[in-house]
Structure 1
Amino acid sequence: MTLAQDRESYGGMAVVRRVANLRQQVAGWRRAGERVGVVPTMGALHAGHMSLVEAARRDCARVIATIFVNPKQFNRPDDLTGYPRDEAGDADKLAAAGVDVLFAPPVEEVYPPGFQTRVSVPELSNCLCGLTRPGHMDGVATVVTKLFLMTGAERAYFGEKDFQQLLIVKRLARDLDVPVEVVPVETVRDGDGLALSSRNALLTPSQRAEAPVIYRTLTAMAAKLAAADSDAAAVLGWGRSELLAAGIEKLDYLELRAADDLQELPRPDRPARLFVAGWMGGVRLIDNVAVPLGR
């Protein structure tokens, strides 16, 4: 398949599905001295994703967005099959935002027959979502490494909502000498504070009305922890009670961890964040907020 054949019309944006064709396009940009940015996604795009695209457009002459629902980061088959997909709608949004290429490969292009390699960052993976979703973070690390090598981008944009993933991606790029700068982008929220997520669309109206309690509780906890002589264990216990009383049916975790290496902390005596993962019905919601250093 040639590059011309591997193209669909979305407002002038190319949709490429084969690595060889993508590399051909990127090589031309590089010869012209143009900086290339990439925004990796699994589709079902919302304003949070588009904020990453906007950041890439500000920094880079050329922007690649990827859409690939990565089977290796799902530990529940029903979660993979039920993940929302709307490539045509996503392509329209990306084209309108000025993306140059949408890279949307089939599974066999990313994981050809006999694929065996795995990228793992164990010290950052064996906690939080990595502990409650076995294999998930290795799946993320593996596919992101491949996307970096496939796209050849100089900058890559990731949201802080998936903060553990962000740290893992930064570490793998450093450890493997991948020539890409990983750029964090602040979490985008609805007006009521709920962090934007593709999974929010799966909430019932009543669940959606209750879900902002996650952010409200995290911000209240952060304020308590920043106070002098704060007791982290007591604040975490208070937060759990608040969330469970307000409609969160189960908590996978609610923890205070260091912002650089995810070590669990008894108090916020260095840059720290609060992390939460909870369930409403069959929908798993995550969030995190920074904790100001105490006085």
Structure 2
Amino acid sequence: MGVKINDSLDLLSVFLTGLPGLEAQHGWLSFPFFTMYIVAIVGNSFIMAAVHADSALHEPMYLFLSMLAITEVGVSVSTLPTVMGILWFDAHRVNFDDCLAQMFFIHTFSCMESGVLLAMSYDHFVAIYNPLRYTAILTLPCILSMGVGITLKSVVLMAPLPVLLKQLPYCHINILSHSYCLHLDLIQLPCADTKLSSILGLSIVLATFGLDSLLIVVSYALILYTVLGFASGEGRKKALNTCVSHICAVLVYYVSMIGVSIMHRVAEHVSPLVQHLPLCATSAQPYYLQR
């Protein structure tokens, strides 16, 4: 029988499975993974530095791009320690408190990324629907307020998750089927009722990713309606071309989210490599908090 460890959680650790069956290839696999992390972190850092240094880039589009770069770096830095620890040092065991901290930062930055993508869709909508008042509507104070609001919303929504998990009893050495800690897995570990955490996780998903994606769809429906009203075919083409990169970013983000969710539901029917490789390889993907 396991011993409940609720008064000394500092002694509790979790075991990250990483890439089961590929332990002998960890040395080789570490090179492409580390390269992807470096490219993501350095590339996005250059974007932030360029926008900060050049006053000509202090425009809504580039400021939102900088916010998106911050979230990308945040998620990459949050997942890098455990992923590379497994590949380089075979360090599968993680302190429970460190695991909770990693979970918090991964989900917080992912939530922020969803909020920034929504803000960017609003930027495109204003630019196309009301171009003459674009600069009057999206002023620097307005953009900064949006950035602060997105950050505060993400932090406030995610903060209760580790607090609630910390209060629950755990009965044994716990195994997580990832290379990093996610609420999706952690909520399965306590030997107690996790209904409150489950409801909270589902509520956060609906209030962030669900609502954000719905509003993005609405904004693009309005953009399409506005563009179709243009008399000039060239004008329609030019307006739609400004949205292509953002649409690609939205698709990558939410397709990754759906992919992670589906992978967990069919995990027992696929190979360990297919289960875990997409989760480790994407350093800036969104994550469900609840099945």
Q: Normalising by the residue count of structure 1, what TM-score does the alignment of the two structures yield?
A: 0.22
Question: Higher strand fraction: Structure 1 or Structure 2?
Answer: 1
Q: From the two aligned structures, give the one with the greater helix fraction.
A: 2
Bigger CA radius of gyration = 2
Q: TM-score, normalised by structure 2?
A: 0.23
